[in-house]
Amino acid sequence: MKYRNTSLILCGVLVASCGDSNVNTTLPAQPPANNNVYNAEISRGELGMVHIKASDYAGIGYGYSHSFARDNICTIADVYVTVSGERSKYFGADESWEMTGNGTINNNLNSDFFFKLINAEQRIEQLVAELPPLGPLPEARELVKGYVVGYNRYLQDTGVDNIPDPACRGADWVRPITELDVYRRFYQLALLGSSAVAIDGIGGAQPPGPGSLTAAMSSPEQFALDLDQAWQGIQIGSNAIALGSEATQNGKGMLLGNPHFPWDGAERFHQAHLTITGELDVTGSALFGVPLILIGHTENMAWSHTVSSAWRFTPYQLALVPGDPTSYLVDGQPEAMIPYELSVDLADGSSVSRTLYTTRWGPMVTAILGLPIFPWTPAVGFALADANASNFRYINHFVEANRAQSVRELLDILQRNQGIPWVNTIAADSSGEALYADISVTPNVSDQKAVECGLPLGAVTANTLGLPVLDGSRNACAWDTDADAAQPGIIGPGNMPWLIRRDYVTNSNDSYWLSSPNEPLEGFYRIIGDERSERRMRTRLGLVMTEERLAGSDGLPGNKFSRQQLQDLIFNNRHMAADLWLDDLLQLCAITPGMIGAGGPVQTAEACTVLAAWTRRDDLDAPGAVLFRRFVTNLFIEDVPTGTAASAFGFADAWATPFDVNDPVNTPRGLNIANPHVQFALASAISDLEGNNIPLDASLRNYSKEARGDRLIPIHGGNGTFGLFNAIRSKWSDSAEGYNDVVHGASFVQVVSFDEDECPDTQTILTYSQSASSESPYFADQTEMYSRKEWVPGRFCADAVQADPSLSVLNLSE
């Protein structure tokens, strides 16, 4: 084949000078044989897709990091500052940053002390020093070595002052990295659903001073309510459907993966294809800073992940030694906390010192998700035990998963490594089997132990949330250890839920229970998830759409899935809340022409006419979509003005027919129009639009936008909480702009089907595009495509890659 002349691109962007003797710009098909330690062929295709070929894992890491840095160096350099505990030095001690993966807003100084504590304990160095399976596999170590060299090569060749991103061009905080920086990023991601939700609460935890009074704790019921509401606000989620041979037209497996991740920040995906001839051939997406495919497919197996319902930590309530708030009692004997005297450098050259304390259970903590619910008093304190604090096994998991060719091979990898930190796994293969598994790192706290060790606070949280708050004054309340567990204190794979079927499995962030309605999973510890309870609307919509197709009741020919039909489920923008509520809401309109909401009295006739004509889809050109979204948003608001009839009601009272455990997919349903909160919500929605001069028949094309530079891109889809499979959560501006700035939602979406040949039939879209740099050609291209509901055909086999008309190739070595 012939390649485009890309010498200008190669010289001006990828390397600082074409005079560098180690850069080959003749574009051969394979890297030339040489005596260099690191060699990679970096192919760049349409939409910035990266294909890395190498002869070993060091070369894969080398080539991947070089291409990744070109796209996103500013974002990942910021991460390396964070995990080194240096944000105060470069960005100001009083400023804050958001960990977009869990939505936490963290003060820079507290964040620095949090990471300084981890680094002072040398947790990461100890994990790296371990032999497999606890420590990294040899392949993982080689990946990291190559990643460091490739990243630093890009930085050296480009120069900080010439970085193609104004966000960090010339910044003094962009620096060469070490292997430790990379491992620190790995560790940060492992903690995303556990300690990282308490960065402020751990980094800022200080003992009470002399003469401090005992602070009053919230009641256990209020504590559980506050924590539950905060936890529901965590930013990550996902959908996935895996079809087996009984559900597909060609009798082979098929997968739809739709992770709902942030559109900004470091918890984004980057697309890549990694190849070592005869050993590795995998494509998909990697989280920033990880040179492995975390969601994707090999020749015969495709997988995705959804955030699991299991808890990754348990707080321990400590009985402190009278007169000594840094000592606590265990079985009646005093035990001193371990002090870590830490120092953080500031921008002016000075430093701040702080002593943080750890216990046998974990570090002391005073807040979680920004809620100061764990007071450290002269009598009581709390420590956070984190099951992922000893987990580097997830890197080994993905090294092996990137080579797996069947769901049973993947299941073995899951069970053997037990490294998945906070997600379910959903997969399908070419033989026609489909897998659901929540074999993730989970504290081993049985329901009995949660009761026996719960204290009054833990008894409530374990029952309502599934989160035990345990008695830290008894050694017997330590986590149990299963014989098959990969590390002490976690539930072994034999006691975690999984399922292989030939029809289908699915998950949309509810627990494992209804991953297959035909084979409910039951009998597991409550800390993993709830059973025989109401499922969220997004879960139910996924089940309904799948069952409709298999029953042939969706208006399409046949009763099995083609790849296109599975693909169409995601962007049909069907609105489950509308399916369940709109008919009843229109009935309310017919009998109640005037209502009172947050903006005062309104007339409903025009709004109800709009809603009656709405398609019940969150498409760009569906008048009424904005109005109904505001209605459901206001219905979800529990706090309405006191003194109104609606103030005594909340969202839980909105259903006409309650949940029925014998019909969990179809209940609850119907809108309780006798609930005054329903009238309040509709009237408030009308006021929301009229008060901002937005027409009641507004569509998303004009009132749901994502800014990319000077471009405002219309965004379809809607809030997953309201039953949108194509989950997109945008900010309500409370202005004439309507919705702007996508916070999180559909990210790397893939549909993978296995045909008769060795090239899977794949369609993908990276909704927020490949690069975070406003100067990159890959900053908004896929976002524009997403807006138009367009997809990108996968290029997995070599001939498809070489047929890419945009292909450029760089051979890099040193």
Q: How many residues does the chain have?
A: 814
Helix (H, G, I), strand (E, B) or coil at 179: helix
Residue 305's nearest CA partner among 406, 466, 104, 440 is 440
DSSP state of 775: T
Query: Is residue 429 within 8 Å of residue 405, measured between CB atoms?
Result: yes
Helix (H, G, I), strand (E, B) or coil at 43: strand
Residue 388's nearest CA partner among 410, 432, 421, 365 is 421
126 CB contacts (<8 Å, ≥6 apart)? none
Annotated active-site residue 238? The verdict is yes
Q: Tell me the C-alpha distance between 61 and 395, whole Å.
A: 13
Helix (H, G, I), strand (E, B) or coil at 87: helix
**Set 84, 238, 245, 308: catalytic member:** 238
List for the chain the helix, strand, coil content (%; round to 5): 35, 25, 40
Q: Tell me the C-alpha distance between 25 and 810, whole Å.
A: 6
Residue 404's nearest CA partner among 266, 298, 490, 497 is 298
One-letter amino acid of 199 = I
Strand partners for 428:
302, 434
Q: Tell me the C-alpha distance between 529 and 72, whole Å.
A: 36
Can you give 418-463 as a three-state secondary structure string? Answer: CCCCCEEEEEEECCCCEEEECCCCCECCCHHHHHHCCHHHHHHHHH
Q: Tell me the C-alpha distance between 224 and 700, whole Å.
A: 36
Alpha helices, DSSP H only, in 335-391?
A: none
Query: Is residue 716 within 8 Å of residue 730, measured between CB atoms?
Result: no
Helix (H, G, I), strand (E, B) or coil at 169: coil
Helix (H, G, I), strand (E, B) or coil at 282: strand
Backbone angles phi, psi at 578, to 5 degrees: -65, -45
Question: Which residues belong to the active site?
Answer: 238
